[in-house]
Structure 1
């Protein structure tokens, strides 16, 4: 946890990622179909100076953004997500700085194979997610250019984008999710009828 806190406080490196809005074209994820999407924030740390975001708000926005994106994948095999919010810095307003702070979010992710009843990644995958810079936020900081809710949504969507990119890489390198895919918009929420994986899977 100290490592997460130090990393977020430093904020010197910018991680490149592509935000995954729900309406963007889907990637190739084989037989992937989202089952349970469990997001927790019981261990989350806020970097001093950040706009405050409650644990419940992080759980809600990440759950919604993950569902909006990944529920569109309509493969034949069910996989579960365990996601833990570890830390964040949501850039405040106030007097613009010479080096305007960039919002950042740290999350841990574990993927479960429902049929096998086991984790796909034995070691939790850690993501450090920065918000996307625009011309306005670059000049004065996102705390001036965006509302707190817009900053949170941007971080959540960038997190979804990084998770999706990682799943694509794992499919290519490790054979996750198999070769076939059918995709389309889900009209109604699904119930899988499977047992929930342990919440601790994300930690």
Structure 2
């Protein structure tokens, strides 16, 4: 039995991925420059079996990740970015090695081109799962991470996923390729509607 558990532990460690870092290298985002960002969390659903958390606890971590990752681009264009938190599950303690619940979140993201007054991305849903590394791979993040650490990690993964998606769209569809963008504009991204339907976020349980 001990040998079996040791083997399982070694396999879990091999499967663990590198943790997403705040200061990773920039992507190619063309003329992207984030004029303003919005974060909406007040209507997010907390899934059953999740650690208890107020939706307001997500705002600052997501805003911080947005500024760190997307606020560093200084292209000639002007774009507004919004993220709405639809639902989340913060893992509790499980059974080490055998059953390790994983924290997850579902968000809708919006990217608005201020100059053309059009959405490049509107209500694009993303399913985000926390990184699995070292200790959390064996005993689960419910034991190895505090609630704040779980939220911080997911917030960074949300913005990391958005940044990578935007880079892919820039390469494949020519997003952020405008030239000679004006420095000012009067219209701001329209406040997105946050879905309260369980179906919109039940995917996190998949």
Shorter-normalised TM range: 0.7 to 0.9
- Alignment deviations for residues 62-117 of structure 1 (CA, whole Å, 9 cap, x no partner): 11111111110010111111211001011123765731100001111011000011
TM-score by length of 2: 0.77
Equivalent position SS for 1:199: coil
> How far apart, in 2, do the equivalents of 1:179 and 1:79 lie?
11
Q: Are 2:105 and 1:108 aligned?
A: no
> How far apart, in 1, do the equivalents of 2:107 and 2:137 lie?
24
> How far apart, in 1, do the equivalents of 2:24 and 2:38 lie?
23
- Preserved contact between residue 44 and residue 85 of structure 1 (Cα < 8 Å): yes
* Structure 1 residues 157 and 192: alpha-carbon distance in aligned structure 2, compared to 1, 3 A threshold: farther
Q: Which residue of 1 aligns with 2:173?
A: 174
Instruction: Identify which range, 53-62 or 141-150, moves more after superposition.
Output: 53-62
* Structure 1 residues 18 and 195: alpha-carbon distance in aligned structure 2, compared to 1, 3 A threshold: farther
Gaps of 5+ in 1: 1-15, 181-190
> How far apart, in 2, do the equivalents of 1:18 and 1:143 lie?
17
Count of paired positions: 176
Q: Are 2:146 and 1:154 aligned?
A: no
Q: Are 2:192 and 1:200 aligned?
A: yes
Q: Which residue of 1 aligns with 2:20?
A: 19
Instruction: Give the aligned CA root-mean-square deviation in angstroms.
Output: 2.5
TM-score by length of 1: 0.78
Listed as ranges, the matches of 1:1-203 within 5 Å are 19=20, 21=22, 23-93=23-93, 96=96, 98-121=98-121, 123-178=122-177, 194-200=186-192
Structure 1 residue 202: deviation in Å? 6.6
- Preserved contact between residue 32 and residue 77 of structure 2 (Cα < 8 Å): yes
Q: Which residue of 2 aligns with 1:188?
A: none
Q: Which has the larger radius of gyration?
A: 2
* Structure 1 residues 192 and 20: alpha-carbon distance in aligned structure 2, compared to 1, 3 A threshold: farther
- Alignment deviations for residues 1-40 of structure 1 (CA, whole Å, 9 cap, x no partner): xxxxxxxxxxxxxxx997351x221111010000111110
